[in-house]
Amino acid sequence: MRKPRHKTRIEPTIALINVVFLMLVFFMVAGTLAKPLDRDLRLVRTSDLEGRAPPDTLVVHPDGRLSYRGEPVASAQAFYAARPEDAREVVRVVPDAALSALTLVDLARDLRAAGAARVVIVTQRGLE
């Protein structure tokens, strides 16, 4: 009599490869859905930043120009006045790294004077 041979089970690696590939495709698509702010904008670096995506932000260019969703804005007061009532409490500002700190402080002061309860400055997280 022969001894019965035990068949070795083959690992289901194809299924694992398929799952990893689908996750890769998902993250590639999800990463490209967000509209870019401005191509020539360089964000300020910080090491401690509350992790939150900037949905509607006021962009401040190095020369002090303001833009919102790619459109130029005349002033901080005009930007604040055009905001819907439910979005006026917190105003997010994305400054260029080359922007003067005095200009940024003046802008925040103007937004607070216009009625903003909180001005959040969005920066790039430092890697150091």
Q: Where are the domains of the chain?
A: 45-125
Q: What six digits make up the tokens of 14? A: 């194809």
At 42 the pLDDT is 76
Q: What is the mean pLDDT of residues 19-47?
A: 76
Residues 35-48, mean pLDDT to the nearest whole number: 68
Higher pLDDT, 79 or 36: 79
Residue 5 pLDDT > 80: no
The C-alpha atoms of residue 30 and residue 16 are separated, in whole angstroms, by 21
Average pLDDT over residues 16-39: 79
Token pair recorded at residue 78: 């005009």
Q: Confidence class of residue 43 from pLDDT cuts 50, 70 and 90?
A: confident
Pick from 47, 44, 48, 46: nearest CA to 57: 44
Query: Identity (one letter) of the amino acid at 8?
Result: T
What confidence score (pLDDT) does residue 23 get?
92
Residue 31 has pLDDT above 80, yes or no: no
What are 62's two structure tokens? 């190095």
